[in-house]
Amino acid sequence: MKNLNTRDMILVALMATLTTIGAYISIPLGPVPFTLQTFFVMLSGMLLGSKKGALSMIVYVSMGLVGMPVFANGMSGLSIIAKPTFGYLLGFIIASYVIGKLAEMTKEKENQKMWFTVIPFVGMFIIYLVGVPYLFMIFNTLITPDSPINFVTALKYGFTPFILIDSIKAVIAGIVAMAVVPTLNKMYSRA
């Protein structure tokens, strides 16, 4: 990404920081805790666009991989790669990019507000699409290789408990984006 100005760097850092805060608001529900991270992932794409949104999630994941305790339950380091939740972290990057790309595509459309109610759900399912198979793989190769779980069990651990609350977060993220994006657009048009 070329020519990030100071404002862009601040917004990218802010979204990475908010995602960290969202990780610390954590309720353990088995191998995958409930956090507010996904809310900020959805916002990062809608508010910052595809490249800067994905960059904010790359910064977030990178901070944790190098040892900063930014993941749920204060986890950090390269050992997180062997945890069942790492797939969701990878999904954050992809989801933020896709959400941002969809938001950019609807920027000039009259029905942008309607799209902002749909776009977060696309990102939410991308997170699940990456996270649940990774959880399944880690359980069956590292955690319980002698008694592998089936994919339905992986869904029970990493999808079913979260779908309702993540749907609520998606709706709220869409509402917040509808309120904030016009202000950000004005701010960028003045630059």
Residue 1 lies in a domain: no
Residue 133 lies in a domain: yes
What is the distance between the alpha carbons of residues 45 and 49, in angstroms, rounded to a whole number? 5
Task: Give bridge partners of residue 27 from the DSSP assignment.
Answer: 34
Domain of 106, CATH number, reads 1.10.1760.20
Phi, psi of 67 (to 5 degrees): 115, 0
Residue 61 lies in a domain: yes
Spatial CB neighbours of 118, under 8 Å, sequence gap ≥ 6: 174
pLDDT in tens, 133-159: 999 999 999 999 999 999 999 999 999
pTM recorded for the entire structure: 0.92
Per DSSP (E only), the strands in the chain are none
pLDDT in tens, 38-58: 999 999 999 999 999 999 999
How far, CA to CA in Å, does 126 sit from each of 2, 62, 122, 129, 180? 27, 20, 6, 5, 23
Residue 33's pLDDT band, with cuts at 50, 70 and 90, is confident
Calculate mean pLDDT across residues 151-173. Answer: 95
Phi, psi of 127 (to 5 degrees): -60, -45
Number of domains in the chain: 1
Domain that holds residue 179: 6-190
Residue 16 lies in a domain: yes
What is the distance between the alpha carbons of residues 89 and 23, in angstroms, rounded to a whole number? 11
Spatial CB neighbours of 158, under 8 Å, sequence gap ≥ 6: 31, 32, 84, 88, 128, 131, 132, 135
